Chains A and B, each alone.
Chain A
Amino acid sequence: MFAKPVACAAFLIVSGLAPLHAQEVVAPSAVSFTDMGGIETSLTGTPGDVAAGAELMNKGSGNCIACHKVTALSDLPFHGEIGPPLDGVATRWDEAQLRGIVANAKKTFPGTIMPAFYHTGPYVRPGDAFTGDAAKGDVAPLLSAQDVENVVAYLMTLDTYPE
């Protein structure tokens, strides 16, 4: 009885995020990096959502502040010290470079500890998320293409150094 209306609602939500005429999403394996490790064009053609990006800074597979301090998010506890603070990051890098760093920072900084968030391997002993078991089939990227765009959109707002 309930299955059909729920499915319809889900369809509406999905279609609301990705218009039918949007460009095709660039697959992780098809991403084109510049020599400097940037990605010139949007992975989805849909502008990034700053608020959704801010959420990912703290939660889910983003959790950027686990390693990076962001003064604008100082209401959230426990910012890490592994990577550089992201204050003013949009003055240091342009959008293409930020997209490349989020998608696969190793293209910009060879050997960096930073995980590649839009990448599907090959990995050494890929697991099934955090279960410790072997991956079941192909591994999905840590962030979706639109997640990457959303995070980049948020990072582009970090264009000043707080006092």
Chain B
Amino acid sequence: MARGFRSGGAAALALVLAAPLAGADEVIDDELVINGEIPIVTQAPAPEHVEAFSVIRSGWTFRSPETQAMEMDDFDNPAILGVEAARDDFDASLGANGESCASCHESPEDLAGVRAVYPKWDDAAGEVQTIEMQVNECVTERMGAEAWPYDASRMVNMSALMSFVSRGEIVNVAIDGPAAETWQQGKDMYYTRYGQLELSCANCHEDNYDNMIRADHLSQGMVNGFPTYRLKNTKLNSVHNRFKGCIRDTMAQTFSPGSPEFVALELYVASRGNGLSVEGPAVRN
């Protein structure tokens, strides 16, 4: 017994990590309730448009117990510092018009549920908008201030606040009607094998989720936990920043946060998580 463990050390470790999650579509026991009061749906029947899965799972279900625990209490979740910073911005008069977010939306909590349906088609703009684009529309058009850079910490914090007030709401992104074309663009990207390593999102997160790739335990690549505090870089990361890193790691010329390509990809990937709870700002490795 001891001998077997020693000779297969790395494999044994991988087995230990994967053991509670074994079986691709098996229902797992882990239950996430934040602060003992916000139940989070971390696994759900797959939406019809995700043919490859029968069950969808939040990235939380793939993480180690230690990382999982950090998300179970806001005092242990470093992302909450960003949420608090965004609350200050929410009340601050930002531009030439003397207005703040609070001028129209009394409190961030008034916006509960908004995150769950974004990205979303915007009739006036004639395009699919992410939360960040909507924030910038308010910042520039209502407040008369300079647009915030898409991936600046100020924007990521505000996005984290929008997730925070929607935690527990069920993701329900519309994929039809005027959003259909952008959704299809995102889907095409999801299955495109980018870069010199010729890897698509699907190669890892659809075909190989729950498998170890070197020391990483591959998830289904859900984005319901974004923005996400990553232990790897000890900061809040936007969805687009994560996309950028993934495509870079295929040895490809990647896309920029805020690009139309990443907006489309975000819509598609978010829709794969229809049925999970909004969980951001989450903690991941």
Contact = CB atoms under 8 A, between A and B. Distances in A.
Contact of A74 (B7, B196, B208, B251): B7
A134 B196 CA distance: 11
Given A79-B14, A81-B212, A129-B251, A123 B207 contact: no
B177 to A, nearest CB: 30
Interface stretch (A14-22, A61-69, A92-100): A61-69
B215 A125 contact: no
Contacts of A78: 10, 13-14, 212, 214-215
Given A78-B215, A81-B211, A134-B253, A142 B14 contact: no
The contact size tier of chain B is: 20 to 34
Interface in B229-277: 244, 247-254
B52 to A, nearest CB: 14
Contacts of B18: 81
B100 to A, nearest CB: 36
Contact of B214 (A66, A132, A162): A66
B9 A74 contact: yes
User: Binding site of A, secondary structure by majority: helix, strand, loop or mixed?
Assistant: loop
A132 B247 contact: yes
B251 to A, nearest CB: 5
A79 B10 contact: yes
B211 A123 contact: no
Contacts of A12: none
13 contacts: A63-B214, A69-B10, A77-B10, A77-B215, A79-B14, A81-B212, A124-B193, A126-B195, A127-B195, A130-B248, A132-B248, A132-B253, A134-B253
Nearest 6 CB-CB pairs, A to B?
A: A132-B248, A134-B253, A78-B215, A66-B214, A132-B254, A81-B211
Interface of A: 63, 65-67, 69, 71, 74, 76-82, 113, 115-116, 121, 123-135, 139, 142, 162
